[in-house]
Chain A
Amino acid sequence: MTKCKCGRKPVYFRRYEGHYYCKCCFLSMIEKKFNKTVGKYRLVQNGDHIVVGLSGGKDSSTALYLMNRLLQKRENVSLTAVSIDEGIGTYRPKTLELAKKLCKDLEVPHKLYSFQKEFGKPLDKKIKGSKDACTFCGVGRRYLLNKASRELGATKLCVGHNLDDEAQSVLMNLLRGDLLRAGRMGTITENPAPKGFIPRIKPLRFIPEKETALYAILRGLPSPGSECPNLGGLRPEIRVFLNEMEQKRAGTKFALLESFDKLSPFVQKAVQYKGPLTKCKKCKEPSSKEVCKTCELWKSA
């Protein structure tokens, strides 16, 4: 019978490394990895106020749980969770309930912002007849998370993107020829941040999706449940492709992300990205164009 190195019964086999983990060793391995990423990339510093973008799904819940755990020992860093209600059918109310409960359990302050209040319409109404729900949703959410973080006085915005999300994004940006966006990826982005922008940190970036899911289940955090009914576009296809490649060659996702991170400074140089240098003339939020993407999609008549 297979065993964890401590002798207990395993719950997980990490293929790309060839090791078995029991529940206990798995949890502590993920926690160490999280803390190591935070340390290595200096994601958290004294005096920081961290806002965690919390959807109530497994990844953001795991990010909040681990960040809260890490900050227990630090008095000079504060933590707030922010949830965005985009207005997605019965799906979002369910995950928001989970988000609320988690914050209550962890005693982390929780703030809720909505598309309805900010843009005058929920996503469901906005996308009627349009296929590209995720564009409207993603652009609006990023905008609102940044604005909320700034209003709350945050110094960092923490998001729950895992290794799979990030490897998918690398491929998607390359396949779309969107080097500008590719150049903005990283474990910490917009740092130093242009005025009005809150640096984003991604401490789960080197943890595969399967491991964040297992962590969430073993810790009793919100775990795999329903999926957004709008999920479509290129991402699901890339996800299937990368999972097939990972099956054939364990470690593919890591290799993709790590090699891209090494190329990233050159990509930034090539596209000469200097950050959002101006303010949107409509909403006054930081933008690289006269009218920002959010106003273009959400605030045009």
Chain B
Amino acid sequence: MKVQVTYTGKTKSLTLKEGSSAQDLLEEMGINPEIVLVKQNNEIVPETELLSDKDKIDLILIKRIV
């Protein structure tokens, strides 16, 4: 399956194995789940959520603001 991922202002298309979760996607991209929240088609979901073909994924970076 193919998903569209937006992270830090950049959007790209990624091919993942069927049955992949958001967690798998983060692993593929080398992003620690502790620093992002995942939106799947505009809804916040747990990283364990399974992804589907043509999903739009937004990764919201949790930044430290003093």
A positions within 8 Å CB-CB of B? 2, 10-13, 20, 55-59, 95, 137-138, 141, 165, 209-210, 213-214, 217-218, 223-228, 231, 239-240, 243-244, 246-247
Q: Name A13's contact: one of B32, B46, B63, B66 (CB within 8 Å).
A: B46
Q: Contact flags (1/0) for B23-65 with A, using CB distance below 8 Å?
A: 0000000001111010000011111110000000000111111
Tell whether, in the assembled complex, residue B62 and residue A209 are in contact, meaning their CB atoms are under 8 Å apart: yes
Q: How many residue pairs between the two chains, A and B, have CB atoms under 8 Å in the bound complex?
A: 72
A56: which B residues are within 8 A, CB to CB? 65
Tell whether, in the assembled complex, residue B46 and residue A58 are in contact, meaning their CB atoms are under 8 Å apart: no
Tell whether, in the assembled complex, residue B37 and residue A227 are in contact, meaning their CB atoms are under 8 Å apart: no
Q: A10-B45, A209-B34, A213-B37 are in contact. List 15 more A-B contacts (CB 8 A).
A: A11-B44, A55-B65, A55-B66, A57-B65, A138-B66, A209-B62, A210-B34, A213-B62, A214-B37, A214-B44, A231-B64, A239-B64, A243-B34, A243-B35, A246-B34
Q: How far is the CA of A225 from the CA of B47 in the complex (A)?
A: 21
Listed residue (B34, B45, B60) with the most chain A CB atoms within 10 angstroms of its CB: B34
Residue of B whose beta carbon sits closest to that of A88: B66
B32: which A residues are within 8 A, CB to CB? 240, 243-244, 247
Tell whether, in the assembled complex, residue A95 and residue B34 are in contact, meaning their CB atoms are under 8 Å apart: no
Listed residue (A56, A210, A218) with the most chain B CB atoms within 10 angstroms of its CB: A210
Please give the distance in Å from A174's CB to the nearest CB on chain B: 20
Q: How large is the interface on B (under 10, 10 to 19, 20 to 34, 35 or more residues)?
A: 10 to 19
Q: How far is the CA of A266 from the CA of B4 in the complex (A)?
A: 53
Q: How far is the CA of A240 from the CA of B62 in the complex (A)?
A: 13
Tell whether, in the assembled complex, residue A59 and residue B65 are in contact, meaning their CB atoms are under 8 Å apart: yes
Q: Contacts A210-B34, A213-B37, A247-B32: A224 and B62 contacting too (C-beta < 8 A)?
A: yes
Q: How far is the CA of A226 from the CA of B43 in the complex (A)?
A: 22
Please give the distance in Å from B20's CB to the nearest CB on chain A: 15
Listed residue (B45, B47, B48, B64) with the most chain A CB atoms within 10 angstroms of its CB: B64
Q: How far is the CA of A270 from the CA of B40 in the complex (A)?
A: 51
25 residue pairs from A and B, CB less than 8 Å apart: A2-B48, A2-B49, A10-B46, A11-B44, A11-B45, A11-B46, A13-B46, A13-B47, A55-B65, A58-B65, A95-B65, A165-B64, A210-B35, A213-B60, A214-B37, A217-B60, A218-B44, A224-B60, A224-B61, A224-B63, A224-B65, A228-B65, A231-B64, A247-B32, A247-B33
